[in-house]
Amino acid sequence: MGNIRLIAIVALSMIVMIVNNGFILAGLTAFDIHMLEELGVSVTALRARDSITLVTLGITVLAGGYILDRCPLRPVMVAGLLAMAAGFAAYSFVQNPLQIYVIHILLGVTQVACGTLCCVVLLSRWTDRFRGLAVGALVAGSSLGNAVVPKFNLWLLEQLAWRDALLTLSLVPLLLAPCVWLIVRERPRGRAISGERAASHGHVSYRSLIETPNYLALAVVATLTVFCVVGLTTNLAIYVQAELNRPGELAGDLLFTLFIGAIAAQLLGGFFADRFGVQKVHIPALALMAIGAFGLAMAPGAGLALWIVAFGAGWGANSAMLQLIPTRFFPPRVVGQALGGIIFFETLGGAVGPIATGAIYDLTGSYGLAFNAIAVLALAALASVSVIRPPEPELAIK
């Protein structure tokens, strides 16, 4: 029964991630052209909504991690899904950028309540032996959402006006909330995670964790790589349509290709990390990200799918490692806070990425320089990963 419950929770967590990340980040890009035309805003102003989402996430994630270490997760996830439904319903009535920004503050909070942080903490309470695979599957759900939702939204826009389409999307998290309430449990009955037994021998403060070299190096990796992926993916549709003069459907196909590559890498990365360690997965992943971005910069329009697959696979394995490392290196009592801190640093890069990439395009009329910069940042993240060392035994989760 316990294994069935674990599989159900992993599957449901994947669905929550499909909806949470897929709808809020990549999925909304399908509406960009319609919003630019009807609302009369610049690319930079529209991209600011993504930065606002991530800034809100950054402001709330540290407190969210502290709370999630100490309270039941199920009601938090349900509240997040209901708030997300309200946000998308309100989106269908927007008239100006200010209203969009207010909605994205709410959506930023939902990224904490029913996003990566909450779901990873939940899975870390349920399994240790297969934690890498479980976290990889969870993060793969996020990528699956980013792959499927934009294409679904493009299809939906062929059936409905863009405002009606957004209102329709609001029904999905609304219907998902009762499923979470019925299926999710906090942890297996009468079972302690092995890391909890190790952590019970001594207290490790959050401050002591964030002062370690490993944590600082991981923070650098999180900042740089999320800058790279959010900057590239949120500008991909405009790159394809405005710079390459190709149809919008191609942008959806490329995003789909990117996230399918990411899904495969997340699952395989989690599987291999359970067996060989995170660095042997993490370093090649970042090299792939750099190769993909360099390819897009140096050969615009040529070999698009190849460069996108390389970037997506690299990002996929990297993203799984970013979520897995805090659960492996730090005691369960502070996993929420440790992961919340890493997500905070992710938001620093993610908040700047869309605006910086869009601003370079506005200034130069090309994404070549922006994609070259993304490749260099991926190499810098690789250098940071190379200095991470195995944690002290008392902090490790065996």
- Domain ranges (residues) in the chain: 2-187+199-385
State which amino acid sits at residue 179.
C
Q: How far apart are the first and last CA of the chain?
A: 24
Q: What is the DSSP string of 221-287?
A: HHHHHHHHHHHHHHHHHHIIIIIS---HHHHHHHHHHHHHHHHHHHHHHHHHHHHH-SHHHHHHHHH
Q: CA-to-CA distance for 195 and 327, rounded, in angstroms? A: 9
Q: Could you give the CA distance from residue 328 to residue 58 in angstroms, rounded to a whole number?
A: 22
Q: How would you write the pLDDT of the chain (398 residues) with one tens digit per residue?
A: 557 888 888 899 999 999 998 898 778 888 888 888 888 888 888 888 887 887 888 889 888 888 888 888 899 999 999 999 999 999 999 888 899 999 999 999 998 999 888 998 888 887 777 788 888 888 888 878 877 888 899 999 999 999 999 999 999 999 999 999 998 887 766 555 444 444 443 455 667 777 778 888 999 999 999 999 989 988 888 888 877 778 777 887 888 888 788 889 999 998 898 888 888 899 999 999 999 999 988 876 678 889 999 999 999 999 999 988 888 877 777 788 888 888 888 878 887 888 888 888 888 888 888 899 999 999 999 999 988 876 654 444 43
Q: Determine the pLDDT at residue 245.
A: 74
DSSP summary character for residue 314:
H
Tokens of 322: 């970013």
The alpha helices in 22-115, defined as continuous H runs, are 32-39, 43-68, 74-91, 97-113
Rounded Cα–Cα distance for residues 79 and 266 (Å)? 28
- Residues 146, 25: contact at Cβ < 8 Å? yes
pLDDT of 199 reads: 41
Asked if 327 and 135 touch (Cβ cutoff 8 Å), the reply is yes
Q: Is 246 left (phi over 0), alpha (psi -120 to 50) or beta?
A: beta
Beta-carbon contacts of residue 234 (< 8 Å; ≥ 6 apart): 25, 26, 29, 47, 50, 353, 354, 357, 358
pLDDT score for 259: 79
What does the pLDDT read at residue 202? Answer: 45
Note whether 283 and 179 are within 8 A (CB).
no
pLDDT at 206: 62
What pLDDT does 377 receive? Answer: 95
Distance in angstroms (rounded) separating the CA atoms of residues 57 and 89: 20
In this structure, the number of other CB atoms found within 10 A of the CB of residue 149 comes to: 29
Q: How far apart are CA 270 and CA 339, in angstroms?
A: 17
Q: Is 299 left (phi over 0), alpha (psi -120 to 50) or beta?
A: beta
* Confidence at residue 230, expressed as pLDDT on a 0 to 100 scale: 87
Q: What is the pLDDT of residue 190?
A: 54
User: Among 249, 243, 185, 173, which residue's Cα sits nearest to residue 17?
Assistant: 173
Say what the pTM is: 0.77
Fold of 2-187+199-385: Growth Hormone; Chain: A; (1.20.1250)
- Cα distance between residue 307 and residue 299, in whole Å: 9
* CA 292 – CA 66 distance, rounded (Å): 37
Identify the residue whose tokens are 């601003």: 359
Q: What is the pLDDT of residue 197?
A: 41
What is the reported pLDDT for 100? 92
Q: What is the pLDDT of residue 2?
A: 58
306 vs 296: CA distance, rounded Å: 9
Token code pair at residue 308: 């996108």
